[in-house]
Amino acid sequence: MAESMQGLKRTMRCAEVSEKNIGDEVTLMGWVAKCRNKGGIVFVDLRDRSGIIQIVTESEGADPRWGSLKTESAIAVVGTVEKRGGAVNPNLRTGTIEVIPKTLRVLSEAQTPPFLIQDGIDTREDLRLRYRYLDLRRPELQRRIIFRSRTVQMIRDFLSGEGFLDIETPSLIGSTPEGARDYLVPSRVHPGSFYALPQSPQLLKQLLMCSGFDRYYQIARCFRDEDLRADRQPEFTQVDMEMSFVDQNDVIDVNTRLLAYLLREMPPVMRELGFDGDLIAGIEAASAEVNGNGIGRITWKDAMDLYGSDKPDMRFGMTITDVSETVRGCGFGVFTGALEAGGTVRGLNAKGQGDMPRKRIDRLTETAKTYGAKGLAYIAIHGDGTVKSSFSKFMGDDEMNRLIAAMNGEKGDLLLFAADRFSVVCASLGALRLELGEEMGLIDHCAFKFVWVVDFPLLEWSDEENRFMAMHHPFTMPYEEDWKRIDSDPGSVRAQAYDIVLNGTEMGGGSVRIHMDDVQEKMLEVLGFTPERASEQFGFLLTAFKYGVPPHAGLAYGLDRMIMLFSGAGSIRDVIAFPKVKDASDLMMGAPSAVDPKQLEELFLAVTGKEES
RNA sequence: GGCCCAGUGGCGAAGUUGGUUAUCGCGCCGCCCUGUCACGGCGGAGGUCACGGGUUCGAGUCCCGUUUGGGUCGCCA
């Protein structure tokens, strides 16, 4: 049934045909999106990545196959462009023209696809992923994948113009113990030894700075063997960059300009690709803001205190209030207990939610509990001024009124309190803030609000490991004025690390790197590395540091997240051509899979304790 | 590893306190239709209700387990 092209050459894409071509003979190739057979006249919508054009055939002398084309078949058409004789279609870019065909070639007839190839379908995602090549035919996904390609080109243009060099680093590297789990690759020629796939090109780009390349970037594939999320895939793409002889402000400056450039360049591309008008308007508004005023900064401490998160969603207010001092010594044991244990008591004021039904408050409590809070205390100030509180019996009127005043509580407000360790209070109130912000309609979903989060702590205590861990990574430069406290109070040392946050999502992050061998060695010691292990794992870096290393700093974006946010997608799966599902498998290819025993033999590998499959 | 949500013809959904032949839309197939573009009209096919077990006179519906996806906590330097 399939025919060859028999020498036909496509002259243009479907939606690239315009009124200028009226009278021209064109050769188009694409997929049958729709066949409307009216009996004597047949309308066929031909689709390719550019869009749709209508082919019209009348019965007299036409190829009879036009009337019975299977949708999604690939066909070639030679015909003449004409102004539409009948009604125009204002929804189509090619809505005023049509093609009268002379020749039809059915290049490949399609079976009925398992789901409709059109936008707005609500098909189960596993089915779509099993037939991803069909899913990707849908305009919605085509648009995002093309937008991704165009955005990467913009990034390359900008960075290249700024003197950055695109340098590739290897995918087969050594395993490093810190951080995420590595994907391992066995070596055939070194039985029992393994490569690791890079979690990021971190050390290699630092060494490129040692080599003198000055400004490096790479669109780099990275791998982390951790559980997936809507915005996390086991392999993902970073826009990775590093600069020499710079400080934190230089990195933030060039990246603010990069983002300003992208925001400026994106709207016309998005319009061309047919993105939603509100989304484009949002990007344009953000462009005006960032191109005019740059991007604001907030310290990690302020972000945690006000938003309960190191990736604050700046699209709305409803900030957190520390009421520890107000409730110190009060009658409510939960509050005083938390304070005595070195914790904190903080509250959120949900304006106008004072009459929230008990059931919804219970649901908020459940949210708080998933973040480690033991419960949620509340004060509901009803519209009539009466006050209902979960802890009124433990507190006198004076104490209660002082607390309400500290929270700026007014008639109709709902005050929610968490009392626990700093991290638990922040996490739970931060999550409640987002949930309430959504429910109360405070979030403008077309807004793009950027913020630089700076001054992260250098170290983070791990209960599990019973030691300090690097919050960013072990090569992050501390602030010089804090470094003297590295032994006396390691938790208080701030790092020259920064994240770029968009709408509550961490879109990228980086740091100034340590370039002094003594600081680096001390850092590894604090992280619990013996000199032997440090030398074993990072010896090449420490040695490199002895041969003249420039001060350097860098940043990496999660490209998938960036494209997801700018294209209004709900998951990074929507901007990755062939994504993996929750358990890290590929439903289309059936990866991962068992391999031939011979392959294992060659690698001197034996599979033990294999789960029933 | 934990918690939550979902699985009903090819696709999406409805299915009441458990009760006769499982309903609807899209798609598909056939016939008709010369200006459709969410084409229309008439007719038709297509279902082990994810799988296994249990409760019951009777299970799509209730219970337990499994499985396949989704969300999330842990985890992700």
Q: Write the pLDDT tens digit of every residue in A320-362.
A: 999 999 999 999 999 999 999 999 999 999 999 999 998 889 9
Which of the listed residues A374, A408, A439 is the one where a domain comes to its end?
A: A439
C-alpha distance from residue A313 to each of A222, A304, A363, A426 (Å): 26, 11, 22, 14
Which candidate, A501, A56, A586, places its Cα nearest to that of A303?
A501
Same domain, A141 and A255: yes
CATH code at position A81: 2.40.50.140
**Within a domain: residue A87?**
yes
Same domain, A325 and A427: yes
Rounded CA–C1' distance between A357 and B19, in angstroms: 38
Same domain, A280 and A251: yes
**Within a domain: residue A304?**
no
Rounded CA–C1' distance between A22 and B38, in angstroms: 28
Rounded CA–C1' distance between A124 and B6, in angstroms: 10
Same domain, A241 and A368: no
Nucleotide with smallest C1' distance to residue A471 CA: B77
Rounded CA–C1' distance between A123 and B74, in angstroms: 30
Residue A3: helix, strand or coil by DSSP? coil
Kindly state the average pLDDT of the residues A234-258.
98
* Residue pair A524/A487 in contact by the 8 Å Cβ criterion: no
Mean pLDDT, chain A, integer: 94
Same domain, A157 and A294: yes
Which residues fall within 8 angstroms of residue A203, CB to CB, at 6 or more apart? A176, A475, A538, A540, A541
* Percentage, residues of chain A above pLDDT 90: 89
Q: Which helix (H) or strand (E) holds A339?
A: helix A333-340
C-alpha distance from residue A402 to each of A323, A348, A384, A389, A405 (Å): 10, 15, 19, 14, 5
Whether the per-residue pLDDT at A491 is higher than 80: the answer is: yes
pLDDT at site A281: 97
Rounded CA–C1' distance between A36 and B45, in angstroms: 22
Nucleotide with smallest C1' distance to residue A121 CA: B12
Kindly state the average pLDDT of the residues A224-243.
97
Rounded CA–C1' distance between A123 and B22, in angstroms: 22
pLDDT at site A62: 82
Rounded Cα gap, residues A147 and A151, in angstroms: 6
**Within a domain: residue A4?**
no
Residue nearest to nucleotide B6 (CA to C1'): A124
* Residue pair A229/A189 in contact by the 8 Å Cβ criterion: no
Residue nearest to nucleotide B28 (CA to C1'): A112
For chain A, the domain total comes to: 3
Compare A558 and A359 and report the one with higher pLDDT: A558
Nucleotide with smallest C1' distance to residue A33 CA: B37
Same domain, A276 and A335: no
Rounded CA–C1' distance between A3 and B43, in angstroms: 34
ipTM over 0.90: yes
Same domain, A204 and A272: yes
A574 φ/ψ angles, rounded to the nearest 5 degrees: -75, -10
Which of the listed residues A108, A125, A156 is the one where a domain comes to its end?
A: A108
CATH code at position A158: 3.30.930.10
Rounded Cα gap, residues A437 and A544, in angstroms: 49
Nucleotide with smallest C1' distance to residue A85 CA: B35
pLDDT at site A611: 45
> Residue A445: which pLDDT band, with cuts at 50, 70 and 90?
very high
The single residue listed with the structure tokens 């002379």 is A102
Nucleotide with smallest C1' distance to residue A87 CA: B35
Which residues fall within 8 angstroms of residue A601, CB to CB, at 6 or more apart? none
CATH code at position A338: 3.30.1360.30
Question: Where is average pLDDT lowest: A475-479, A557-561, A608-612?
Answer: A608-612
> What count of residues does chain A have?
613
Rounded CA–C1' distance between A42 and B34, in angstroms: 9
> Residue A1: which pLDDT band, with cuts at 50, 70 and 90?
low
Same domain, A249 and A274: yes
Whether the per-residue pLDDT at A613 is higher than 70: the answer is: no
Rounded CA–C1' distance between A235 and B7, in angstroms: 28
Same domain, A90 and A55: yes
Nucleotide with smallest C1' distance to residue A228 CA: B76
Q: Write the pLDDT tens digit of every residue in A182-222.
A: 999 999 999 999 999 999 999 999 999 999 999 999 999 99
pLDDT at site A609: 59
Rounded Cα gap, residues A291 and A450, in angstroms: 12
Instruction: List the structure tokens of A607.
Output: 């599979």
Residue A441: helix, strand or coil by DSSP? coil
**Within a domain: residue A470?**
no
Rounded CA–C1' distance between A124 and B51, in angstroms: 19
Rounded Cα gap, residues A476 and A471, in angstroms: 9
Rounded CA–C1' distance between A77 and B77, in angstroms: 56
Kindly state the average pLDDT of the residues A364-393.
93
**Within a domain: residue A115?**
no
Kindly state the average pLDDT of the residues A116-120.
92
Cis peptide bond upstream of A592, omega within 30: yes
Same domain, A216 and A341: no
Q: Model's pTM, two decimal places? A: 0.96
Q: Is A421 exposed, middle or buried (0-12, 13-18, 19+ CB in 10 A)?
A: middle
Other Cβ atoms within 10 Å of A356 Cβ, number: 18
Kindly state the average pLDDT of the residues A103-116.
95
> Residue A612: which pLDDT band, with cuts at 50, 70 and 90?
very low
Rounded CA–C1' distance between A607 and B63, in angstroms: 39
Residue nearest to nucleotide B37 (CA to C1'): A89
**Within a domain: residue A189?**
yes
Kindly state the average pLDDT of the residues A22-40.
96
pLDDT at site A466: 84
Kindly state the average pLDDT of the residues A476-494.
96
Q: Write the pLDDT tens digit of every residue in A42-100.
A: 999 999 999 999 999 987 778 989 999 999 999 999 999 999 987 899 999 999 999 99
Domain with A378, as residue range(s), is 316-439
**Within a domain: residue A385?**
yes
Same domain, A258 and A328: no
**Within a domain: residue A309?**
no
Same domain, A206 and A289: yes
Which of the listed residues A92, A108, A124 is the one where a domain comes to its end?
A: A108
The protein footprint on chain B, as nucleotides within 7 A of a CB, is 1-2, 10-13, 26-30, 32-40, 68-77
